Amino acid sequence: MTAETGSAPVEDVDVVVVGAGPGGSATAAYLAAAGLDVVLLDKATFPRDKICGDGLTPRAVRELHDLGVDTTGWARTLGLRVFGGGHRLLMPWPQTRSFPSYGLVRTRRQLDENLVRHAESRGARFLEGVSVSDPLRTDDGRVAGVSGHRVDPTGRRTGESYAVRAPVVVAADGVSSRLATAAGRQKRADRVMGVAVRAYYTTTREDEYLESYLELWTKDATGADMLMPGYGWIFPLEDGRANVGLGILDTSKAFGRTDYKDVMARWVDTLTDRWGFVHDASAGPIRGAALPMGFNRSPLYADGLLLVGDAGGMVNPFNGEGIDYALQAGRIAADVVSGALKERSPAAREQALTAYPSIMKDALGGYFTLGRWFAHAIGHPEVMRVATKYGLPRAALMRFLLKLMSNLPDDGGRRPSDVLINAMSRLAPDA
């Protein structure tokens, strides 16, 4: 139903989700499947592009399958081919009971379109072209909805306002999260940040393995060559193209002082003979985006507003993955919210909602702390150089690191690698 507030009608729903990326669409799909009246908002008109590597690990594939998404025809990957220190190593995805034995590659233009339509098929109402600017608040300061305005496909205001009320609001509106910022949720300075740049290239080659290049070079202040903390990637698509890009951490002295697009362009030139790359200008130039890592905005829930995905800094500091954790957070958030809305009293509802940060930190907090330690360690060029030179020749060590960095240990597994990773994640502090 709607109610008049001032001159604009305000719609009343059970939950409003702002941002139709993987986390927002997953949250809306799960909530709608639970029988709740859900409105999903996004300022873009779909399908739309998003800066991303497009690679989906087995962890993300499991979340997609749990969500009920049909991935038939998507490009499958069998594992990772790693280059560095003069070495080359082929590593299939780990064989576990907890995860599929394959990954996927899907452009964000396709993936996000698939997910938002899946949410609609579950009963969520999707309103595109709605730019949310402010939270609606109750007299005691609780977030109780959002307001904004409609925009055309170019992003220009149409002059039409929009507002919706709900007892729970989910911010899944990305790294900048205007909604979380407006509600006073600031980014944490003690968390690792990264930047990624990527572009699309046509290629004459087909491959079922992702490629990762561990040596990315730039110049330091003296002009000497310096190894940067990060990696370059090649993720083949099913349409004769590849997503090619690189990711860099802010733990290096070169961060913010490097022309990453230039580094990437020079690196791609070294790959052209092998891959037959030709830049796909129709997909745009080399573009970059920030990577918010390790729960870099908090609290994840307070006063009616819950954070999912990049809005809450849910990117893996080990490798820059964010899609799988956004999907996982959407599943957990929907379970918490649907349970909370069954409570009869406001106090019981609020108590149920406040469990969300603890659940997320129990699931990922210790692991993200391990990732932050790793990111700070490889921020030192000499550490990165030694790790690349002496680590890659040791296949068993690299298989363990692939499982660790992709967060693919068997749940309750008895293999030494599974036991060790699970124990490390459990014992590391989640602060």
Distance between alpha carbon 427 and the CA centroid of its chain, in Å? 24
pTM over 0.85: yes
Best CA proximity match to 93, nearest among 70, 64, 52, 59: 59
Q: Which residue has the tokens 């082929």?
A: 90
Average of pLDDT values for 151-161?
91
Model pLDDT for residues 218-256, shown as the tens digit of each residue:
766 677 777 777 899 999 999 999 999 999 888 877 777
What are the tokens at 369? Answer: 């702390």
> What is the rounded distance in angstroms from the CA atom of residue 103 to the CA atom of residue 408?
12
Model pLDDT for residues 347-403, shown as the tens digit of each residue:
999 999 999 999 999 999 999 999 999 998 888 777 877 888 888 888 899 999 999
Model pLDDT for residues 347-363, shown as the tens digit of each residue:
999 999 999 999 999 99
Distance between alpha carbon 26 and the CA centroid of its chain, in Å? 12
Going from N- to C-terminal start, the domains of the chain cover 2-76+105-189+293-368
Q: State residue 272's pLDDT score.
A: 87
Best CA proximity match to 79, nearest among 210, 225, 212: 210
Peptide bond into 47 cis (omega under 30): yes
Number of CB atoms found within 10 A of residue 426's CB: 11
> What is the rounded distance in angstroms from the CA atom of residue 89 to the CA atom of residue 37?
50
Q: Which residue has the tokens 């954070």?
A: 307
Supply the mean pLDDT for the chain. 92
DSSP state of 293: B
Average of pLDDT values for 135-152?
95
> What is the rounded distance in angstroms from the CA atom of residue 308 to the CA atom of residue 364?
13
Q: State residue 220's pLDDT score.
A: 67
CB 327 within 8 A of CB 387: no
CB 321 within 8 A of CB 60: yes
Q: State residue 5's pLDDT score.
A: 43
Distances (CA, A) of 293 to 5, 190, 191, 280: 39, 10, 7, 30
User: Would you say domain 2-76+105-189+293-368 falls under CATH 3.10.450.50?
Assistant: no
Q: State residue 109's pLDDT score.
A: 97
Q: State residue 3's pLDDT score.
A: 40
Confidence of residue 1 (pLDDT cuts 50, 70, 90): very low
Distance between alpha carbon 300 and the CA centroid of its chain, in Å? 15
Regarding predicted confidence, which is higher, 388 or 20?
20
How would DSSP label each residue in 12-43? Answer: E-SEEEE--SHHHHHHHHHHHHTT--EEEEES
